[in-house]
Amino acid sequence: MTGILYLAVDGGGTNTRARLYDESDKLIGEGLSGSSNLTLGTEIAGPAIAAAGDAALAAAGLGPEAKARIHAGLGLSGGNIPALAESVAAFPFGYQALTVTSDAVTACLGAHAGKDGGILILGTGSQGLALVEGKETAIGGWGFALGDDASGAVLGRAALHAAMLSVDLLGPVSDLTRRLLAHFHDDPNEAVIWAKTAKPRDYGHFAPLVFQAAGGDVVADHLIAGAVGAIVGMLDRLIDLGAPKLTLMGGLAEPYRPFLPVRYDEILVPPKGDAVAGALALAKRGPAR
């Protein structure tokens, strides 16, 4: 096999997906690895991206020498921060060409097949993006420490915070708080020790428990109401930016959907393609000129 190869990569806080295509857009290999959230550092993201790409090459029956023919498009969590994007672009992947952007850009390109629209990613992290008349405007996506409202990581952390408050009866005790504390053998000190090294994805593992308890659990209902308020704010901002249609994406898109106001029913549409499809478009387009 000769000719250009296109590597499409979607990297977030939980995992990194890579798909390898030939010049005719035929999928020839796929790879999966760990988190490539750039806010965790290039020393974590770089090897994860390389591992997913190497796995895709191996699945296609190609060796490392084929890297020199790859045009890669990377849509990464944290890729909206120029310094982080530049840092991972300098990683020695060995590809012929490389274009880095945020996972929100590639998700939007895939969701609306390159047409105007907006997306709100609700996964381990969160970020919105509007693509209108060739202009990209991102909202949120500032990472676990300073943003990512309504994300799995932030929701999970809020749930654990509520559980800790319940220990001292500074907040309600509920089935959710009891389940969360049971994870730490009903020992809040164990939770404190765990939190010292916990990553966003670790907090995100607790988010499904909040949705499972919703609809009667006072803590779960309060947490979801707060998260939905943040989502409404982001959706309205995307509409103000001129996005004609919006798509919810990410692992929490479906769980949140029943809680959103009905006024969004007409503007929310399912995605036409995923973030990896958008990364393929990015790889073929190359850097903006």
User: What is the per-residue pLDDT across 195-229, written as a single tens digit (0 to 9) for each?
Assistant: 999 999 999 999 999 999 999 999 999 999 999 99
Domain count, the chain: 2
Q: pLDDT class for 285, splitting at 50, 70, 90? A: confident
Q: To 10 degrees, the CA torsion angle through 59, 252, 260, 157?
A: -160
pLDDT at site 289: 45
Report the pLDDT averaged over residues 220-247. Answer: 97
Same domain, 105 and 174: no
pLDDT at site 41: 92
Same domain, 179 and 250: yes
Residue 252 falls inside a structural domain: yes
Query: Which CATH number does the domain housing residue 83 bear?
Result: 3.30.420.40
On whether the pTM is more than 0.85, the answer is: no
pLDDT at site 275: 87
271: alpha, beta or left, given left = phi > 0 and alpha = psi -120 to 50? beta
Same domain, 278 and 237: no
Q: What percent of the chain has pLDDT over 90?
A: 84
Query: 129: part of which helix (H) or strand (E)?
Result: strand 126-132
d(CA 13, CA 105): 16
pLDDT at site 1: 59
- Is 130 within 8 Å of 241 (Cβ atoms)? yes
pLDDT at site 185: 97
Domain hosting 107: range is: 5-113+272-285
Which residues are CB-contacts of 76 (< 8 A; sequence separation ≥ 6)?
9, 11, 12, 36, 37, 38, 45, 49, 85, 88, 100, 101, 102, 103
